[in-house]
Amino acid sequence: MKTQLEHWRVLDAVITCGGVSQAAKALFRTQSAVSYSLKQLEAQAGVELLVLIGRKLHLTPAGHQLLQEARQILQRMQLLDEQITLLSQGIESSITIAIEQVAPMQPILKAIEVIQDLYPHINLHWHELILSEVDTAFHQYNADLIIATHVPLNHIAKEWLKVDLIGVVSKHHPLAKAQSIELNDLSQYTQVVVRDKGKGDKDTGWLASPKRYTVDNIHTAQQMVHAGLAYAWLPEHAIAQPINKGQLVKLALTEGDMQEARLKVILNPSKSQGEVVTTLRDQLMKVVESKK
């Protein structure tokens, strides 16, 4: 005969509360009802779960092992009940976001910190994008919210932050000592660009050199620049500290030393936005308002 989850809940209460009478008060039941549940559980389990030592009930070795397993199930059931309640109130149990790699992390993490405080139950799925990957993010990742420079067709977006992409090299690179650089001068040096893995197939960066190292993410590109292997246009927020420390040097270009990426916050039109996603969007937009 299969055991009933409610009987395990009663056993858990007896052990946690320290006795039958205490468990009865915690469960708002009579002592006889609690005792009956314990007898039913032992009969269904077919093993002795409790033993009376002195005037107190203690778990047998089998009872201890089985209760540990049951507590995990009880915990999962409690989480399930909480998720059902939240969903009925329009509050998601998990959200999926996709972030273009040029986006600054600090304001995003600050917004997520607010979400964590307001909705401690939330599960977050995070994906990183490059350029036209945004077109597939809603379908491939089923993302609820995207932060990207490109807005897919028939999607509504809100302007978010502007990111400056600065042409830089390592302090050890030959270009670091140049006082004035024309764009044509870059053609003899290696440039590192980030591969566009979406359908657009447009590598990031101003393609000023025929010799290129193409990588999958901005972090690798930055490491290559630090190593003195290539130059690149990188997000200002990611290289401000290395520049201040003298580890990286801005290219002394007569023109085109800076590019601009305008990030937008985009919601998935095919999904109904719940309270968590809309709160996250509002927190992100507060960053823009604070800069006005």
Q: Which domains does the chain have, with CATH numbers?
A: 5-88 (1.10.10.10), 94-160+265-290 (3.40.190.10), 162-262 (3.40.190.290)
Nearest residue to 269 via CA among 174, 159, 170, 144: 144
Mean pLDDT of the chain: 87
Tens-digit pLDDT profile for residues 242-285: 999 999 999 999 887 788 999 999 998 888 788 899 999 999 99
SS3 54: coil
Residue 12 tokens read as 């858990």
What is the rounded CA–CA span in Å between residue 212 and residue 57?
A: 74
Which of the 8 DSSP states describes residue 181?
B
Burial degree of 179 (CB within 10 A; 0-12, 13-18, 19+): exposed
pLDDT of residue 56: 86
Burial degree of 35 (CB within 10 A; 0-12, 13-18, 19+): middle
pLDDT of residue 2: 66
Tens-digit pLDDT profile for residues 81-138: 766 766 676 678 889 999 999 999 999 999 999 999 998 888 899 999 887 788 778 8
Tens-digit pLDDT profile for residues 177-207: 999 998 888 989 999 999 887 655 444 455 6
Q: What is the mean pLDDT of residues 2-30?
A: 87
Q: What is the mean pLDDT of residues 129-151?
A: 85
For 274, other C-beta atoms within 10 Å of its C-beta total: 18
- In angstroms, what is the C-alpha Rg of the chain? 29
pLDDT of residue 1: 46
What is the rounded CA–CA span in Å between residue 127 and residue 145?
A: 11
Residue 194 tokens read as 């980030």
Instruction: Return phi, psi of residue 101, to 5°.
Output: -65, -20
Q: What is the mean pLDDT of residues 136-160?
A: 87
Is the separation of the CB atoms in 193 and 204 below 8 Å? yes
Residue type (1 letter), 84? I
pLDDT of residue 235: 95
Tens-digit pLDDT profile for residues 56-85: 888 999 989 988 998 888 888 877 776 676
| pTM, full prediction | 0.69
Q: Helices 105-118 and 275-290, interaxial angle, to 10°?
A: 140
What is the rounded CA–CA span in Å between residue 186 and residue 88?
A: 59
Is the per-residue pLDDT at 290 higher than 90? no
pLDDT of residue 208: 64
Nearest residue to 228 via CA among 167, 166, 181, 171: 171
What is the rounded CA–CA span in Å between residue 154 and residue 133?
A: 16
Tell me how far CA of residue 235 lies from CA of 46, 101, 103, 105, in angstroms.
Answer: 66, 9, 8, 11
Q: Helices 61-88 and 5-17, interaxial angle, to 10°?
A: 110
pLDDT of residue 112: 96
